[in-house]
Amino acid sequence: MKDALSDSFLVLILKNRNFAYRQRTGRKTNNLYQRMKAFVFPGQGAQFTGMGKDLYENVPLAKELFEQANDILGFKITDIMFEGSADDLKQTKVTQPAVFLHSVILAKSLGEAFKPDMVAGHSLGEFSALVAAGAMSFEDGLKLVSKRAQAMQKACEANPSTMAAVLALTDEKVEELCASIKDEIIVPANYNCPGQLVISGTMAGIDKACELMLQAGAKRALKLSVGGAFHSPLMEPAKVELEGAIKATKFNSPICPVYQNVTTKGETDPETIKKNLVLQLTAPVKWTQSVNNMIADGATSFTEVGPGSVLQGLIKKINKEVETSAAAL
């Protein structure tokens, strides 16, 4: 009797998950008991020297795509990725394309093993997710990422700014303290996981905010070594510059829902995806909310595609019950 009740309860949970998935995405799952796979793509900060070199040396398709990327960018990014110093990789024009290339080329190298039910990317990683899911071509994706990096770099130079990580405060408290600073730009930028929120703003605003966060009981309020206030109103010039390029790029319907940073929902409509990509530059990355929605819609495993393991760690802090892994050939 107990086993029958357990089975009935499981069926009810799965039915509710499937209903939620249909409501959010307009798509049906194939099987009531289907274990839904999510693939996630990291953003800036995951780079390391040597990234992608094994793919280049062992997978013919990967080598072809890396060489194509060198031609598109107009410089040998592979030299920097494979042999460059940490400082070389920190250059904005290098970092974003490098992480994008490692992620997308790894996804393409997986072949039949890359069969996502849903995908998401953290900030820059959203571009990787869209290309991997077929929403745009490899060439168009790389061109947009390169333009995004250059536009963000210009915005950073025009308005010196930075970011800080706040640990062990609730999201609501961080939001409240940011809103209390009226004379500087300071906003929540990355909702990474419960108890870890990154804020973004002017230099003076970040200094003032960090002081308030510590007074309110934050375990840490640590300024980050980044080029500027990403995902804040200070990126408005970059948003304006990138908007035209995104609108001019051909987007297709992806092979699965893409959970976007701005809406946190699974999106499949090309025009909606475009609009959200534009908004992303000045809006917060709602990673915690996105992962929770993916789980609510049926995701039982998350595979990180790209350099590092940061997203696996964040996902485990959001929900320790789900499976996490790194993509591997």
Q: Are 224 and 151 in contact (CB under 8 A)?
A: no
β pairing state of 161-167 and 220-223 = antiparallel
Comparing CA positions, the residue from 12, 2, 14, 8 lying closest to residue 299 is 14
Q: Which of 65, 29, 46 is nearest to 142 (CA)?
A: 65
Q: Report yes or no: 99 and 125 within 8 Å, Cβ to Cβ.
A: yes
Catalytic residue among 103, 109, 122, 123: 123
Other beta carbons less than 10 A from residue 265's beta carbon: 18
What number of other Cβ atoms are within 10 A of residue 308's Cβ? 18
Q: In a 3-state reduction of DSSP, which class is residue 36?
A: strand
Give yes or no for a contact between 208 and 185, defined as CB atoms under 8 angstroms apart: no
- H-type alpha helices, 110-220: 125-132, 138-158, 171-180, 203-215
123 is catalytic: yes
Catalytic residue, chosen from 103, 200, 231, 232, is: 231
The distance in angstroms from the start CA to the end CA of the chain is 44
**Which residues are bridge partners to 267 per DSSP?**
258
**Is 231 an active-site residue?**
yes
- Residues with a catalytic annotation lie at 123, 231
